[in-house]
Amino acid sequence: MDKYLNQLSKTYKNIQEVSEEIINLQAILNLPKGTELFMSDLHGEYEAFIHIINNGSGIIKSKIEDIYETNLTEAERKQLATLIYYPEEKLNLVKKGNENLKEWYKITLYKLIEVTRAVSSKYTRSKVRKAMPKGFEYIIDELLYLQGNDENKEKYYHQIIQSIIDLNRADSFIIAISELIKKMAIDHLHIVGDIYDRGPGAPVIMDKLMNFHSLDIEWGNHDILWMGAASGNEACIANVVRICSRYDNLATLEEGYGINIRPLSVFATEVYKNDECKNFIPRNKEMSKYSNSDKIVLAKIQKAIAIIQFKLEGNLIKKHPEYKMKDRLLLDKINMQKGTVKIAGKEFLLNDTNFPTLNLKNPYELTQEEKEIMERLKSSFMQSEKLNRHINFLYAKGHMYQKFNSNLLFHGCIPMKSNGDFEEVEVIGKKLRGKELLEYSEKIAHNAYFGDKTEKFQDAIDFMWYFWCGPKSPLFGKDKAATFERYFLDDKELKKENKNPYYNLINDEKICDKILEEFEEKSEEGHIINGHIPVKAKDGESPIKANGKMIVIDGGFSKAYQPATGIAGYTLTYNSHGLVLAMNEPFESKIKAIEEGLDIKSQTVLKENIINRKRVADTDTGKILNEEIKDLKKLLMAYREGKLKERA
């Protein structure tokens, strides 16, 4: 401790400085806790995601209602909200149709200052100032914290506003203060997995997250798939490319990350030139914009990479018998003469028997052309500067699970047996369960990407694919990925992917308590916050399990899932007053939001109020601050007793 106190004394050089910091930290402990926002399964839906971030999951709109419900019309309140959400775009519209722009600026600036005061009231002046956009700190600070009502102060206040307008700085100021409002609305963001796949804008979402002031990410199976691809796992790469082609999302690869798909496209068009690949027409409501020939080209790309995927996966399964996935070896069970495939000892008729690249004597061997395609794709994934920047960020901010303010967050599941015991899973020579399984899995994921790509780390790279679709993977949570069956068989029973017993057990409060205890989260107020399995709200399924101990926040954020869920996802907020779970309707478009002031409509499905308002002292941050206060008090005592000498 002496060494630590000596180090601490370099920052706080005397009794005065130590005392000031103790007073400051003790005051912070009594502020209301900041608002946390939880989102899950974004799946590339960047417009809806950015809108929710911009509106603070309804917080900004609520503040505007509180301040201006009786002073502004509903239309005026909508216009003010939209200006905060999209300041640059909204300013362009306002300037086109406003004859008295200076007067509009003046009125609007006063309104924005009031909203800023409301959203920043629970934070210290220091924290708000640090969040202010560069170049406007002094002006915003003066406007926010102006004290007194005497005539001189009022004139001073009005002159600041007038000078902003006269110096043609109003637009820049509006943009700057709108960004500050959005920062203050959400203190911390939790992304509970699956940023990637399905929708078109994962790279846009990642750029937004990289600029967000405070967040954590719990990896989803789709995230780990991209992480595996960036690590050089060819089976992961093939899966990524197949999913992008399945959802008409190749632009994510080509435009988002500069990954060249043309060699695969040329190969697929040639190999399947007489095959319309009907089972592989992309799943996208927007496919009507394509000509029939374009659709067929996309289908051929998907089929070509799917066959490559099955070969690569087969080789991994044979290399790693410990995965216990022999039931997924189906290419060698195809009987071309009968047009069947044997599954679990029974033969089933294939709906497609055109396999020109399949060598029946060695069905898992890639052709020379397929090898060359995979070599190029692997090189592109591993060398894409933007992709690796995003993947590095996923590792820096991401975890298999996270404990935060008494809540336990993870994306998939904790593998369990039907009797409620934790399932033992073999991970590269170690048999683990529960908390240890997730912690060791996180280490393996790091080894796969940050290892030196020698044979030493190859098992870790291979295991990234198991995380994606292995039957006991905590990120997957199903007995199989029935990809082959979905493409080539008509039997609906064969296409079923049975969930891990965990998903039935979580309706039991005792099971949820057991999971919380396993992760050393024993608070009575603790919750498990989970994603991954879309809640079918249209069928009456509830996202709230086990008397509120478990909250599942995957409600179909992705458009691909919305027909099954009937909604457009859930957002969960946790502020000083408690938890609020909102069920969202589909977001129409950014253009409509800007032009018509349309917001995402939400319905509250859970409101869990706290009797005693939560303060910073009640949070994880509060625990850290209390430890800092203890150390500072020891330093203060050391100064007073002469054990350490004060410095000027």
Range of the domain at 473: 213-498
Q: pLDDT value at position 290?
A: 65
Q: pLDDT value at position 423?
A: 97
What's the average model confidence in pLDDT over 4-14?
A: 92
Residue 1 has pLDDT above 60, yes or no: no
> How many domains is the chain partitioned into structurally?
3
Q: What is the pLDDT of residues 414-424, one digit of tens each?
A: 999 999 999 99
Q: What is the pLDDT of residues 370-419, one digit of tens each?
A: 999 999 999 999 999 999 999 999 999 999 999 999 999 999 999 999 99
Question: Is 400 found in the same domain as 413?
Answer: yes
What's the average model confidence in pLDDT over 225-247?
A: 97
Question: Is 425 found in the same domain as 473?
Answer: yes
Structure tokens at 126: 């220091």
Question: Is 298 found in the same domain as 422?
Answer: yes
Residue type, 637: M
- Residue 277: inside a domain, yes or no? yes
Question: Is 7 found in the same domain as 43?
Answer: no
Banded model confidence at residue 289, pLDDT cuts 50, 70, 90 = low
340 SS3 class: strand
The number of CA neighbours under 13 Å toward the Cβ of 380 is 22
Q: pLDDT value at position 283?
A: 76
Question: Is 43 found in the same domain as 23?
Answer: no
Question: Is 171 found in the same domain as 110?
Answer: yes
Q: pLDDT value at position 280?
A: 95
- Residue 517: inside a domain, yes or no? no
Residue type, 333: K
Rounded distance between C-alpha atoms, residue 364 and residue 367, angstroms? 10
- Residue 307: inside a domain, yes or no? yes
Question: Is 153 found in the same domain as 289?
Answer: no
- Residue 516: inside a domain, yes or no? no
Element spanning 255, H or E: none
Closest CA to 221 of 42, 40, 398, 412: 412
- Residue 647: inside a domain, yes or no? no
Closest CA to 476 of 201, 206, 239: 239
Torsion of Cα atoms, 358 then 363 then 369 then 375, to 10° = 140
List Cα–Cα distances, 290 to 246, 254, 278, 285, 303, in angstroms. 14, 18, 15, 11, 18
In order, the DSSP letters of 392-454 are HHHHHHEESEEEETTEEEESS---B-TTSPBPPEEETTEEE-HHHHHHHHHHHHHHHHHS-SS
What's the average model confidence in pLDDT over 494-503?
A: 96
Q: pLDDT value at position 3?
A: 85
484-489 long-range Cβ contacts below 8 angstroms, 24+ apart: 484/310, 484/328, 484/330, 485/343, 487/279, 487/280, 487/303, 487/306, 487/352, 488/279, 488/341, 488/350, 488/351, 488/352, 489/341, 489/348, 489/349, 489/350, 489/351
Any residues with CB less than 8 A from the CB of 593 and at least 6 apart, and which?
51, 82, 85, 86, 587, 599
Average pLDDT, the chain: 93
Residue 612 has pLDDT above 90, yes or no: no
Banded model confidence at residue 605, pLDDT cuts 50, 70, 90 = confident
Yes or no: say if 250 and 257 are a contact pair by the CB < 8 Å rule. Answer: no
Question: Is 272 found in the same domain as 188?
Answer: no
Q: Exposure of 123 by Cβ count < 10 A (0-12 exposed, 13-18 middle, 19+ buried)?
A: buried
Banded model confidence at residue 70, pLDDT cuts 50, 70, 90 = very high
- Residue 230: inside a domain, yes or no? yes
Question: Is 150 found in the same domain as 286?
Answer: no
Ranking 26-40, 220-234, 276-290 by mean pLDDT, the lowest is 276-290
Q: Please report the sign of the dihedral spanned by the C-alpha atoms of residue 349, residue 350, residue 355, residue 360.
A: negative
Structure tokens at 424: 């033992």
Q: pLDDT value at position 478?
A: 97
Rounded distance between C-alpha atoms, residue 127 and residue 120, angstroms? 9
- Helix residue spans in 489-575 (DSSP H): 502-505, 509-518, 562-565
Q: What is the pLDDT of residues 528-548, one digit of tens each?
A: 999 998 999 889 999 999 999
What's the average model confidence in pLDDT over 507-511?
A: 95
Question: Is 64 found in the same domain as 138?
Answer: yes
Q: pLDDT value at position 586?
A: 87
Q: pLDDT value at position 287?
A: 53
Q: pLDDT value at position 610?
A: 83
Q: What is the pLDDT of residues 322-351, one digit of tens each?
A: 999 999 999 999 999 999 999 999 999 999
Q: pLDDT value at position 135?
A: 86
Question: Is 547 found in the same domain as 456?
Answer: no
Q: pLDDT value at position 148?
A: 55
67 SS3 class: helix
Closest CA to 171 of 221, 216, 234, 104: 104
Question: Is 225 found in the same domain as 263?
Answer: yes
Would you give the DSSP letter of residue 321?
Answer: G
- Residue 514: inside a domain, yes or no? no
Residue 570 has pLDDT above 80, yes or no: yes
Q: pLDDT value at position 104?
A: 95
Q: What is the pLDDT of residues 126-170, one digit of tens each?
A: 899 999 988 888 889 888 887 556 666 778 888 999 999 999 999
- Residue 512: inside a domain, yes or no? no
